[in-house]
Amino acid sequence: MKITIGDHDPTTRTVAATFTSGDVVHERSVNACYDASGDYDAIATAERVEEVGRGVAVKIGLGVIANAPDPEPNPA
């Protein structure tokens, strides 16, 4: 699985993460981690995103997470 972590959003205290496995792409926000002084911790956040990614991988394998089907075209 390929994981891409976006920028930290201090307002929502999250990072955007994209999880890609084969042709399945799943995007979601993941809670950011902070150190004891309250500063954003990029290393701990990356570890957290990896943990979430393991769960996403299982769900993709089970078919719980899949790409949305293409909408059927409207007949004119």
Q: Report DSSP letters for 13-42, one per residue.
A: TEEEEEEEETTEEEEEEEE--B-TTS-B-H
pLDDT digits (tens, 9 = 90+) for 1-31: 999 999 999 999 999 999 999 999 999 999 9
Provide the residue range defining the domain that includes 22: 2-62
Q: Do residues 28 and 38 lie in contact, with contact meaning Cβ atoms separated by under 8 Å?
A: no
Q: What is the dihedral of CA 22, 19, 51, 42, to 10 degrees?
A: 140
The answer to whether position 76 is within a domain reads no
The answer to whether position 67 is within a domain reads no
Residue 73: the pLDDT is 79
The answer to whether position 71 is within a domain reads no
**Closest by alpha carbon to 16, among 25, 5, 26?**
5
pTM, entire model: 0.87
Check residue 65 and report its DSSP letter: S
